C-alpha cells in the first residue's frame, strides 16, 4: 500500500478546500483505490474502491483541520507494540494481525466506513457488542475485539486462512452459505487477496502454517 507524503496530502486537502466551489461545506472521502493507495478526495469511491472515512458520517471531522493526515508508517510504528502484544495474547502471528489492520484501516484508529465499521480493525457495532468492546474508538479495545473474532474464525474454519479472512470481511454465515468457500463477492475476494499478500510479504517462509482455501 502506498501513501502520499504527509506534506503532499496536506497540500492536496488545502487545495480542495480552497479551489472547490463551496469547498468549506464540501463532503470529502478517504478511501483505498484499486492499487491500494489511500486517496483523499471530494469524489466518492468508485466500484472496487474501499471507503475508509466519509466526512458526513463523522461529526468529529466537521472541522477539516482535525482530519488525521499522519502517514500509515507513522501510525504503524505507533501501534505496532500494541498490535504485537494483542496478537500474541490471542495466539495469532503478529504479522497476520498487522495485515488485517493494514487492509481494514491503514492503521488509522479513527477510520469509519459507510457501513459504520470503526477503528483499526473496522469493527461493526454488532461485532463489538459480541466481543464486549465498549468503545470501538479505543485502539486496544478495538484490536482485542477484532483479534478475538479473527481467532474464533480461524478455529471455526479449521485454521484456513483465506476462509477466516473472507469471513472477517463478509461474515461467517456468508462463507458457510457458499459451502465453506470464499463468497463470490468482488470486495471479499479482493480483500482476501490483499490480506494474504500483506501477510506473505511479512512472513514469506511461515505463511504456509495456515492452509489456504481451494
Which CATH architecture best describes the domain 72-208? Orthogonal Bundle (1.10)
CA distances (Å), 100 to each of 27, 29, 60, in order?
A: 28, 21, 25
Please identify every residue annotated as catalytic. 104
pLDDT tens digits, residue range 168-191?
A: 999 999 999 999 999 999 899 989
pLDDT tens digits, residue range 118-174?
A: 999 999 999 999 999 999 999 999 999 999 999 999 999 999 999 999 999 999 999
3-class DSSP assignment, residue 170:
helix
User: From the CB of residue 77, how many other CB atoms can be counted at a distance below 10 Å?
Assistant: 11
Cα angle, residue 147 at apex, residues 145 and 152 outer, rounded to 5°: 95
Q: Give the domain ranges of the chain.
A: 6-66, 72-208
Amino acid at each position: 500500500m502506498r501513501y502520499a507524503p504527509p506534506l503532499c496530502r496536506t497540500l492536496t486537502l488545502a487545495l480542495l478546500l480552497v479551489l472547490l466551489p463551496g469547498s468549506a461545506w464540501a463532503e470529502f472521502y478517504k478511501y483505498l483505490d484499486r492499487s491500494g493507495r489511500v486517496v483523499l478526495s471530494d469524489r466518492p469511491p468508485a466500484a472496487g474502491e474501499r471507503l475508509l472515512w466519509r466526512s458526513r458520517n463523522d461529526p468529529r471531522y466537521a472541522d477539516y483541520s482535525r482530519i488525521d493526515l499522519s502517514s500509515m508508517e507513522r501510525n504503524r510504528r505507533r501501534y505496532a507494540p500494541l498490535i504485537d502484544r494483542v496478537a500474541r495474547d490471542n495466539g495469532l502471528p503478529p504479522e497476520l494481525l498487522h495485515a488485517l489492520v493494514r487492509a481494514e484501516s491503514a492503521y488509522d484508529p479513527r477510520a469509519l466506513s459507510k457501513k459504520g465499521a470503526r477503528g483499526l480493525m473496522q469493527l461493526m457495532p454488532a461485532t463489538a457488542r459480541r466481543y464486549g468492546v465498549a468503545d470501538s474508538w479505543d485502539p486496544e479495545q478495538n484490536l482485542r475485539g477484532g483479534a478475538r473474532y479473527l481467532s474464533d474464525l480461524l478455529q471455526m474454519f479449521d485454521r484456513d486462512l483465506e476462509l477466516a479472512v473472507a469471513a472477517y470481511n463478509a461474515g461467517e454465515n456468508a462463507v458457510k452459505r457458499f459451502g465453506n468457500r470464499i463468497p463470490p463477492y468482488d470486495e471479499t475476494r479482493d480483500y482476501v487477496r490483499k490480506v494474504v499478500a500483506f501477510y506473505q510479504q511479512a512472513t514469506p517462509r511461515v505463511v504456509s502454517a495456515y492452509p489456504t482455501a481451494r
